[in-house]
Amino acid sequence: MSIPIFTMMVGLPGSGKSTYAEKLSKERSAIICSSDKVREDLYGDENSQSNNDEVFKLLHKRIKELLKAGESVIYDATNINSKRRRAFLSELRSIPCKKICVIMATSLKKCCRQNNSRSRTVPYEVIERMYKNWNTPYWFEGWDEIKVASEYKLPNLIFCWLTDYMDFNQQNPNHTLTLGKHSIEVGDYFPENSLLRDAGYLHDCGKPFTKSFNNSKGEETNVAHYYQHHCVGAYDSLFYDYSEGVDRLDGSILINLHMMPYFWEKDKEYGEKTRLKYKKLWGEELYNNVMKLHEAVEWCQQHGLEFDAINENLPETLEWLGGTESRKIHADVFIDDKAVNKPKYCVPYKECTM
């Protein structure tokens, strides 16, 4: 007798989770358990955001009961937080089941467009907050299989990203180079390692969207800040093509975690204890790759002025590598969302042609 399959949907509001779950439900004869349905059962309104703890307590109870009864289940909610995903998977340890994660990788622009087209809409501020707190699902959480469901993965987009931000002034004393030049330096630090090279090129791709002249206290400053750029970058990196043999999931998790060493270094009291905790959680290979990427970023920040002397012809080379069609796709998927006219609400997003 085959064991039941537990599938967790992970994605922003409007990313297509429920549509995908419906299709999957028919293919696997699986029961969909959603947070919206529980809210409706408890409070008569799927839009209710009160007592979320009670909602998810009941939702998790239902899922576990169904799995114990041998039913395959699809967990339909945003599920963007790694700590909460890990906590729930730990509750399933005593229940024989295959654990699958499905990541709905849909651009923020398209999420907003699809959100606006349905009867029950989520405020743009909520979608943006989730975007800025994205945690890429990864193997250390306890998955048997992770699937990235995305219609984007087109050639040469990494080169489009680099050229589009070649002149992006970071306006921060920690960076002497533009964003594009810094990203190239970090990637080129790893000529023999395709994964780290690609992650290096993309590690700061969340910066244009998160650039702000307000500090963490909300005070206006004369330098730019990029809070949560590692989360936005990890999400957006799922749409880029990577080198042959490189899994974009591996690139995304490195981008998601690349700020962690900075956080440990700043925390003089608990930083070392936290570092050791994550080293154990992530495993040796992922931990070492995060530290190598951190080392590259640190080195490039200290030696950034050397860039122009050794890369005179780089802009023309990258322009050729990008190609006209790839540049159009890159602009359609990303540019409006970030550098040009970032809207306060999702309504102004232009139609996504993808």
157 vs 47 pLDDT, higher one = 157
Predicted local confidence at residue 69, as pLDDT: 97
**Long-range Cβ pairs for the range 207-212 (8 Å, 24+):** 207/168, 207/170, 207/179, 207/233, 208/165, 208/168, 208/179, 208/338, 208/339, 209/108, 209/236, 209/337, 209/338, 209/342, 210/132, 211/171
The DSSP line for 236-255 is HGGGB---TT--HHHHHHHH
d(CA 163, CA 160): 5
CA nearest 48: which of 58, 40, 56? 40
Rg of the chain (C-alpha set): 21
CA 237, 239, 244, 250 dihedral sign is positive
Structure tokens at 102: 């499905």
The whole-number average pLDDT for the span 77-99 is 97
CA atoms within 13 A on the CB side of 199: 30
Strand 73-76: give its sheet, edge to edge: 31-34, 73-76, 5-10, 98-104, 145-149
The answer to whether residues 27 and 119 touch, using CB atoms and an 8 Å cutoff, is: no
Burial class (CB in 10 A: 0-12, 13-18, 19+), 42: middle
Predicted local confidence at residue 147, as pLDDT: 97
Domain residue extents for the chain: 5-149, 157-337
How does residue 186 score in pLDDT terms, banded at 50, 70 and 90?
A: very high
Angle, nearest 10°, between helix axes 248-257 and 229-236?
Answer: 170
AA letter at 103: I
The whole-number average pLDDT for the span 98-112 is 96
How does residue 338 score in pLDDT terms, banded at 50, 70 and 90?
A: very low
Q: Express as a percent the part of the chain with pLDDT over 70.
A: 82
The answer to whether residues 311 and 177 touch, using CB atoms and an 8 Å cutoff, is: no
pLDDT of 250 above 90:
yes
CA nearest 272: which of 264, 261, 282? 264
The whole-number average pLDDT for the span 281-293 is 98
CA dist 281 → 266, 269, 275, 278 (Å): 21, 20, 10, 5
How does residue 344 score in pLDDT terms, banded at 50, 70 and 90?
A: very low
The whole-number average pLDDT for the span 280-295 is 98
The whole-number average pLDDT for the span 186-201 is 96
CA nearest 12: which of 120, 85, 111? 111
Predicted local confidence at residue 84, as pLDDT: 97
Predicted local confidence at residue 176, as pLDDT: 86
The whole-number average pLDDT for the span 48-74 is 90
Strand partners, 5: 98
Average pLDDT, the chain: 86
Predicted local confidence at residue 53, as pLDDT: 84
pLDDT of 87 above 60:
yes
pLDDT of 331 above 70:
no
pLDDT of 323 above 80:
no
pLDDT in tens, 212-229: 999 999 999 999 999 999
Residue 225, SS3? strand
42 vs 12 pLDDT, higher one = 12
How does residue 251 score in pLDDT terms, banded at 50, 70 and 90?
A: very high
d(CA 115, CA 346): 8
The CATH label, of 1.20.120, 3.30.70, 3.40.140, 1.10.3210, for the domain at 157-337 is 1.10.3210
- Total residue count of the chain as it appears in this document: 354
The CATH code that applies to domain 5-149 is: 3.40.50.300
Predicted local confidence at residue 350, as pLDDT: 27
118 vs 287 pLDDT, higher one = 287
3-state DSSP of 120-157: CCCCHHHHHHHHCCCCCCCHHHCCCEEEEECCCCECCH
CA nearest 152: which of 15, 260, 256? 15
pTM: 0.88
Say how far residue 203 (Cα) sits from the centre of its chain. Answer: 11
AA letter at 290: V
The whole-number average pLDDT for the span 114-135 is 94
The whole-number average pLDDT for the span 306-312 is 52
